[in-house]
């Protein structure tokens, strides 16, 4: 477990109902990213610190296309999103490249926004590989904008993959998470609360 990330979180006392839409109150229904955030210990839709915004945006779009067919799969797949927000800029770049490359394997004719965001991600990854304190500082300073661009663009990947059906969409989500190359996450909940325990997430 040397490369395992541990996340200490207060376990939610209730689980949200599974649904396709994002709600202001997660107990009225939660999309993929909101559901994962609750499992990760976030207490409200406005404090979703567990899920990377670009990954959450993609997962929400996939949830819309998969619909009720994906509801039984949510509890199995959603935990893989936990802890993805706490990642270096390189992981954001890998996320984008992995998602767009997977999409291009099914639909070679990408829209301009997806091509642009992948080009930006490749440039950022190349910058990171060259090292240097100045380059690393620049990556961190510009990371917020990079995440916003990715969050705006990646739902388009779900739109392009949707004609291949739910299985292809779920494969797209899994491939995107794996591309981040993050260590497994173990979420340690407070054992003093009823119904809590240890959740290990392998990506």
What is the mean pLDDT for each group of 10 consecutive residues in the chain (203 residues)?
43 43 47 56 53 88 75 65 85 96 95 95 93 90 94 95 92 92 62 44 52
- State residue 161's pLDDT score: 96
Tell me how many domains the chain contains: 1
CB 171 within 8 A of CB 77: no
Distances (CA, A) of 102 to 4, 125, 179: 26, 18, 10
CA separation for the pair 61, 70 (Å, rounded): 12
CB atoms within 10 A of CB 44: 12
Q: Which domain holds residue 46?
A: 5-201
- Full-prediction pTM beyond 0.75? no
- State residue 145's pLDDT score: 95
CA separation for the pair 193, 142 (Å, rounded): 40
CB 28 within 8 A of CB 17: yes
CB atoms within 10 A of CB 112: 9
CB 183 within 8 A of CB 5: yes
- State residue 80's pLDDT score: 77
Strands annotated E in the chain: 5-9, 185-189, 198-201
């Amino acid at each position: 477990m040397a490369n395992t990330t541990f996340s200490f979180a207060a376990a939610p006392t209730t689980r949200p109902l599974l649904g396709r839409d994002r709600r202001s109150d997660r107990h009225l229904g939660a999309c993929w990213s909101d559901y994962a955030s609750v499992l990760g210990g976030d207490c409200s839709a406005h404090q979703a610190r567990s899920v990377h915004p670009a990954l959450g945006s993609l997962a929400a779009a996939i949830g819309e296309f998969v619909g009720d067919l994906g509801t039984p799969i949510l509890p199995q797949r959603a935990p893989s999103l936990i802890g993805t927000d706490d990642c270096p800029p390189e992981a954001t770049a890998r996320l984008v490249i992995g998602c767009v490359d997977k999409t291009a394997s099914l639909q070679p004719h990408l829209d301009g926004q997806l091509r642009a965001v992948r080009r930006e991600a490749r440039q950022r990854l190349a910058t990171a590989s060259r090292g240097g304190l100045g380059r690393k500082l620049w990556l961190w300073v510009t990371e917020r904008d990079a995440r916003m661009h990715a969050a705006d663009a990646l739902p388009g990947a779900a739109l392009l993959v949707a004609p291949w059906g739910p299985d292809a969409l779920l494969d797209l989500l899994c491939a995107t998470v794996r591309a981040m190359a993050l260590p497994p996450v173990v979420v340690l909940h407070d054992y003093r609360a009823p119904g809590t325990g240890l959740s290990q997430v392998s990506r």
